[in-house]
Structure 1
Amino acid sequence: MNIKRIVRHLTMTHWQVNQTFTRQVLSTIEQAIKHSEAAHVGELRFVVEGALDGMPLFTGQSARGRAIDVFSQLRMWDTEYNNGVLIYLLYADRDVEIIADRGIHSKVHSREWAKICHQMETAFSQGDYEGGVVRGIEAVTASLAEHFPSAGASRNELSDKPVML
């Protein structure tokens, strides 16, 4: 049990997250996702969660484990081509995880996602959340456009709006 982590999560407030992810920042992220999806057939979502609470926190759930839960809760696996990609930020830990559905995971190696996550976490450690997320979306876009280029007009199966948990 990591006491420092538990305290960090229990003292995290929605106000702190909202100070970082203002309406303007969320709008910029939404536009970046819309722009991204024009270049590939993937379905991209960004989720920021302030902190874990309850059993997940006290049992030491990792950001990756939580990201997988969120991927499922948002039904990102329920796209026609199994092409959902989640960028998940657990704000209290400044930990980023990228979860890709099986249609994408078979082509883009997890090392590539880990590199993008690390770049985003580095930007966050410098206080650049907006830029870190937008550059992360751009990096994901480059990978998806390489392996899953846009086939013209495709339908948008998942919302582009960032999710705040």
Structure 2
Amino acid sequence: MTTFARLFKHLRTTSAAGRRAFPSDTLKAIEAAITEGERKHRAEVRLIVEPALGLQEVLAGMSPRERARALFAQYGVWDTEENCGVLVYINLADHQVEIVADRGVGKVISASDWQTVCRTMTEGFARNDYHGSTLAALAQINALLQQHYPDDGSTRNQLSDNPVML
């Protein structure tokens, strides 16, 4: 895709598109799924939805992966006691889902497992099922984290469970 075509896509994808894909009921369900999952494991999950990148980011050729890494740092997902933060980043204009896992999680959960989770979301998004596919992906993430970071009674919530709409 050319820079111009990508720029046009990002300019066309407004915050209203984000609200249609992720209305308040869906955001509340996502928060509840994150909260419930974190009761069963010691990891921390953040979910960020961004309808589109800004003009400068698109012109600079910023990829969704690069943006996810920047948000991982900006929102402090890396700053957990066991290096067990996980960011789920959704870019609506690029139709991309990126998962950035802190180094502790990255050592125990494979890239193919994360790709399976991303596929759950992108396939659902292609059917306009943002609600169900996001909740299904969070269930997959929580199961993976419960397997590798089971709750041992010492858990405390280190990051907000609120999904972020940019």
Question: If the TM-score is normalised by the length of the shorter chain, which range does it land in?
Answer: over 0.9
State the secondary structure of the residue aligned to 1:57.
helix
Q: Which residue of 1 aligns with 2:39?
A: 38
Q: Which residue of 1 aligns with 2:51?
A: 50
**Runs of at least 4 residues of structure 1 off by over 3 A?**
none
Query: 1:5-44 to 2 correspondence within 5 Å?
Result: 5-44=6-45
Shift in Å, 1:11: 1.3
State the secondary structure of the residue aligned to 2:80.
coil
More moved, 105-114 vs 155-164: 105-114
1:138 equivalent in alignment to 2:134: no
Query: 1:76-95 to 2 correspondence within 5 Å?
Result: 76-95=77-96
Instruction: Return 5+ residue gaps in structure 2 as ranges.
Output: none
Q: Contact between 2:7 and 2:55, CA under 8 Å: does it hold in 1?
A: no
State the secondary structure of the residue aligned to 1:138.
helix
Shift in Å, 1:153: 4.7
Q: Which residue of 2 aligns with 1:105?
A: 106
State the secondary structure of the residue aligned to 1:44.
strand
Q: Which residue of 1 aligns with 2:164?
A: 163
Provide, for residues 6-59 of structure 1, a one-character-per-residue CA deviation record: whole Å limited to 9, x for no partner: 101011111111122111110000000001111111000110001011221112
Shift in Å, 1:133: 0.7
How many percent identity over aligned positions?
Answer: 39
Q: Contact between 2:30 and 2:135, CA under 8 Å: does it hold in 1?
A: yes
Q: Contact between 2:80 and 2:158, CA under 8 Å: does it hold in 1?
A: yes
AA of the residue aligned to 1:91: L
State the secondary structure of the residue aligned to 2:93.
helix
Query: 1:58-77 to 2 correspondence within 5 Å?
Result: 58-77=59-78
How many residues in Structure 1 have an aligned counterpart in Structure 2?
Answer: 165
Instruction: State the distance in 2 between where 1:54 and 1:15 align.
Output: 18
AA of the residue aligned to 2:162: K
Instruction: Return 5+ residue gaps in structure 1 as ranges.
Output: none
Under a length normalisation based on structure 2, what TM-score does the superposition of the two structures give?
A: 0.96
State the secondary structure of the residue aligned to 1:92.
coil
Instruction: State the distance in 2 between where 1:71 and 1:121 align.
Output: 20
AA of the residue aligned to 1:75: G
Instruction: State the distance in 1 between where 2:3 and 2:143 align.
Output: 37
